[in-house]
Amino acid sequence: MLEQAACIAKGVFSGAVRQDAEGLIPSLKFYRVLAARAPISFDHEAAVAHAYALVGQGLESVFESDVRRIFGGASARVVTVAPKSFQRMQNKLLNPAEHGDPNIARPRCAKNVDVLRGCIIVKTVEELEEAYSKLQAAFKVVRVKNTHEPSTNGFRGGYRSLLVNFVFEPGLTWSQLFGEKVTFDLSNPVKMMAKQVTELEENQTDLGRVWLNYIDQNPTIQKYMALQGLQVISSEHPNEPVRMIAELQLVLEPYFEGRTVSHMLFKIARCDTGAMEMVRDFFQEYFHKEDRCDERLQAVRDIALAVNEGRSASKQVTVQ
């Protein structure tokens, strides 16, 4: 059975792919003073990681909707999870065995091609092959890692899967997701020291307010700059379709069950750099579990889905 599964997608590219490849997420730019295009010195890679997390949150609902539509009526079971968080991407940047390798081209967090992710669980190899065919017909597949080959030990973590990365195109433009204007900068040094931005009144948009309202619940300079960088993209490429590499793992049911009961141990084992990496990893998971109930996040998650459904997005939510 493993030998048969190992033949699926044989010969498909299995090397490295990145979110900043041509035609995907454009380079992010950050300005302290927008009018002068004055740059700012800070942790740019952290801001890019925050930006990818924000794009993931904006596309999460429509991604889940599309995946469930594609596999609707099939025997496969669909499991989607929250987009990869900034903290998980930052943990990988702090680990020299992962994205902390200085030889990786910057921004190194562009290697996170599973910000949008999920699992498709099937019972037979035939269903596994059918699931891959459905995915291949719906999206442009850019990488496949097949670990069913019985002569190997599979991935670190100990379970077999058909890991498929593909270009997810949700059917909206950058301006429809973030607005066409950059709505703030850091030109006021007093506000900047207090982790506050300077809103550019002439550039305000409804989408800008929804996003900024969401950022304001837990602000950092890197997170503000992440949103600004995405607004720069939306102003420079307003009509360009949003595209992001996503990941689905196609898994036989026994391996998914094994993965479920061993996942906690896997999370501990992958913390190569010590206890603090484990603390950060577990903290962000439980922190974001509560955060997902926040109305401001729901407003952000509704933007892309509303465009696809031809309706107005959620109004700005203000939570005291």
Q: Is residue 133 in a domain?
A: yes
In the chain, the number of structural domains is 1
Report the distance separating Cα 74 and Cα 57, nearest Å. 27
The confidence score (pLDDT) of residue 315 equals 57
Q: Is residue 311 in a domain?
A: no
The confidence score (pLDDT) of residue 90 equals 92
The confidence score (pLDDT) of residue 154 equals 55
The confidence score (pLDDT) of residue 320 equals 35
The confidence score (pLDDT) of residue 314 equals 61
Question: For 110, which DSSP code?
Answer: G
Residue 56 has phi, psi (to 5 degrees) of -60, -40
Q: Is residue 223 in a domain?
A: yes
Q: Residue 190: how many CB atoms within 10 A of its CB?
A: 8
Q: Is residue 317 in a domain?
A: no
Domain that holds residue 32: 2-305
Print pLDDT tens along the chain (320 aa): 889 999 999 999 999 999 999 999 999 999 999 999 999 988 999 999 999 999 999 999 999 999 999 998 778 999 999 999 998 999 899 999 899 999 999 999 999 999 999 999 999 999 999 999 999 999 999 999 999 988 776 555 567 899 999 999 999 999 999 999 999 999 998 888 888 899 999 999 999 999 999 999 888 999 999 999 999 999 999 999 999 999 999 999 998 888 888 878 877 887 778 888 888 777 766 666 666 678 999 999 999 999 988 887 765 544 43
Q: Is residue 316 in a domain?
A: no
Q: Is 274 left (phi over 0), alpha (psi -120 to 50) or beta?
A: left
Q: Is residue 127 in a domain?
A: yes
Residue 17 has phi, psi (to 5 degrees) of -130, 160
Return the exposure string of 196-221: e unless at least 16 CB atoms fall within 10 Å of the residue's CB, then b: bbbbbeebebebbbbbbbbbeeeeeb
